[in-house]
Amino acid sequence: MKKPTKILLIIASIIAVLVLFFAFISAKDKIMADKLKQSLQNLKHNQEITLEKVAPFKWDKFYVFGPYFPKEEIEKEIGFKSHKIQESHQDSDWNYFFVKDRKVVLNQVGYNKLGYSIYLADRKFIKNGDNVKFKVTKKDKITHLNIIDKNMSELPLKINIKDLYKSKNVMFYSYKEEKWQNFNLYQSFKKRVNKKESASFRFIKETVEGDPIIYDIYYDKRSGFTVIKDNRRDKFSAKKDRRIFGEKYKYFYESHMLVDSINKKGGFMTVAILSNKDNLDQADSDETSDTIRLFSYKMKKSG
């Protein structure tokens, strides 16, 4: 046999082995993907679960990336490169990663075609062992898992407001320093919203009498903005109003106005607004249930 023929046979053999190897890997991934889908679809509406109990394989971390998130950025986030990493190329497609020992165990991209969605709110990932709870909802044959470790209904009615303020995960206004504390939570929320990434944060406003009103703000590209308001500790409100309730909004705005008296140097007062009005002028002047002014904050005058 001539030497060139031997070389061609070796190359063909290597290609055949590689084809069989990747076919085996692909078949293994499909089996795991089908098992995960079946496990999630077997869950019941309103059930509370953890991924540790429903994922039918071993994993260390679980990541979620939004639509169009580039492969290079994914590799930076998870800390390694992998041929298994896919990119999402449609507005509705989310990118889910289960990782173990710096290897991709399973990467699934999609939404409707997957038959499930997993929402981590403001988290980039969760670790196996954290036992983070999710609430299951079923709609249009899709199983949705929504993180609930921030569920305000679990907060006690009798609570010391100073205890709430000890948390670095809550934004609140300091009357002593005349500014919002943990303001980075709102800034992070705003950046993620501008990138059309899922986001959430919590802030507290005090009534004139000093009672805490707790707000949880959620954003999702598919469903818009949700405001959950906990008014149960407002002792001076009507009893019927002391409850937890939610409202939906489509648009997020910031309204700026010049106020000369701020810090005695002049500056801007900025109001964060959620509304169902499709332009800022209408939202800024609206006093109906279609609009909510979340809070205001001071900005120093530039120049």
Measured at the alpha carbon of residue 65, what is the angle toward residues 186 and 200, in degrees to the nearest 5?
25
Kindly state whether residues 73 and 139 are assigned to the same domain.
Answer: yes
Confidence of residue 266 (pLDDT cuts 50, 70, 90): low
Return mean pLDDT, the chain. Answer: 80
Q: What does the block give as tokens for 137?
A: 């909802």
pLDDT over 80 (residue 173): yes
d(CA 214, CA 245): 11
pTM, entire model: 0.51
Q: What does the block give as tokens for 213?
A: 């009103």
Confidence of residue 259 (pLDDT cuts 50, 70, 90): low
In whole angstroms, what separates CA 33 from the centre of its chain?
Answer: 23
Tell me what pLDDT residue 303 has. 44
Kindly state whether residues 13 and 139 are assigned to the same domain.
Answer: yes
Kindly state whether residues 11 and 142 are assigned to the same domain.
Answer: yes
Kindly state whether residues 11 and 137 are assigned to the same domain.
Answer: yes
Domain boundary among 87, 121, 147: 147
Query: Could you report the per-residue pLDDT of 30-86, keeping only the tens digit for each?
Result: 889 999 999 999 999 878 899 999 999 999 999 988 778 889 989 998 999 998 898
Is residue 95 within 8 A of residue 69, CB to CB? The reply is: yes
Distance spanning both ends of the chain, measured CA to CA:
82
Rg value, the chain, Cα: 25
Kindly state whether residues 8 and 130 are assigned to the same domain.
Answer: yes
Indicate left, alpha or beta for 153 from its phi (over 0: left) and psi (-120 to 50: alpha). Answer: alpha
Q: What does the block give as tokens for 271?
A: 């109001």
Comparison of pLDDT for 148 and 216, the residue scoring more: 216
pLDDT over 70 (residue 174): yes
Range of the domain at 289: 251-303
Query: Could you report the per-residue pLDDT of 84-105, keeping only the tens digit for each?
Result: 898 888 877 889 999 999 999 9
Count of C-beta atoms within a 10 Å radius of residue 101: 8
Query: In what helix (H) or strand (E) does residue 281 lie, and over which residues does it extend?
Result: helix 280-285
**Among 45-59, 129-143, 205-219, 279-293, which stretch is predicted with the lowest mean pLDDT?**
279-293
Residues 6+ apart with CB under 8 A from 11: none
Domain boundary among 147, 173, 195: 147
